[in-house]
Each structure stands twice: as C-alpha cells, then as structure tokens.
C-alpha cells in the first residue's frame, strides 16, 4: 500500500485556506514556465500559484491551457502559494463554471 496521500479537490480561490503539506488537486490556467527554476505559474480568479515541477518528466502544457495539478502545498505565506507537483495534465475541454459548481457541491457534502 502506498503512503501517497489522496489529493483534496480545491478551488483556486480557496488555496489560501490550505496549510503546508496539504495534498490538493487544483484546476487553473497555465500562464508561464521558467526553465531555469523548473517552475510554472498557474492562475485562476486572480489567485496565482507557483508550481514546482522537479518530479514531472512529461511534456508540459502550453501557455493558456486549462491544467489540473495534483501535489502538495509547500508554502502559503504572503499569498505566495507554492505547490510541489506530482501530476500535471491538460484538461482544456473542461467547463470551468460547471467544474466550480461541482467542486463546491462535493466539498459541502464531504
């Protein structure tokens, strides 16, 4: 059995409520990639997160793609949210408005 924690569905705007070490699954827009630091910037609803990609060995999404990231919160100080990614995948066909409603409903029940 694996010791990898299950990721909790979190809306981008709720990332500031997460604590260091929380395992999350977020969906947002891929804004930029910095190859010198191997990090990416994701954003949605005016909330930004820096995604560390050291564990990712696949083709990365393109700027503007809708992306899901599964990983752990590294830091949330001064609204500088940092996530260590385990999985990054493009989900361009997702309806973000419907997705947000479903996540809110799911999180209110669980």
Residue 109 pLDDT: 84
Domain 8-109 has what CATH class?
Answer: mainly beta
Give the domain ranges of the chain.
Answer: 8-109
Q: Which segments in the chain show pLDDT lower than 50?
A: 1
DSSP the chain: ---PPPPEE--GGGGGG--TT-EEEEEEEEEEEETTTTEEEEEETTEEEEEE-TT--SPPPPTT-EEEEEEEEEE-GGG-EEEEEEEEEE-TT--HHHHHHHHHHHHHH-
pLDDT tens track for 62-89:
999 999 999 999 976 666 899 999 999 9
Residue 1 pLDDT: 47
Residue 4 pLDDT: 73
Tell the burial category of 67 from Cβ atoms under 10 Å away from its Cβ (0-12, 13-18, 19+): buried
Contact 85, 55 (CB under 8 A): yes
d(CA 60, CA 58): 6
């Amino acid at each position: 059995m694996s010791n990898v924690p299950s990721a909790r569905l979190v809306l981008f705007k709720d990332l500031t409520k997460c604590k260091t070490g929380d395992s999350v699954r977020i969906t947002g827009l891929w804004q930029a990639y910095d190859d010198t630091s191997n990090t990416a910037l994701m954003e949605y609803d005016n909330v930004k997160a820096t995604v560390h990609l050291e564990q990712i060995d696949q083709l990365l999404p393109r700027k503007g793609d809708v992306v899901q990231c599964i990983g752990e919160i590294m830091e949330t100080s001064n609204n500088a949210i940092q996530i260590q990614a385990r999985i990054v995948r493009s989900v361009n066909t997702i309806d973000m408005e419907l997705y947000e409603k479903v996540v809110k409903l799911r999180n209110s029940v669980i």
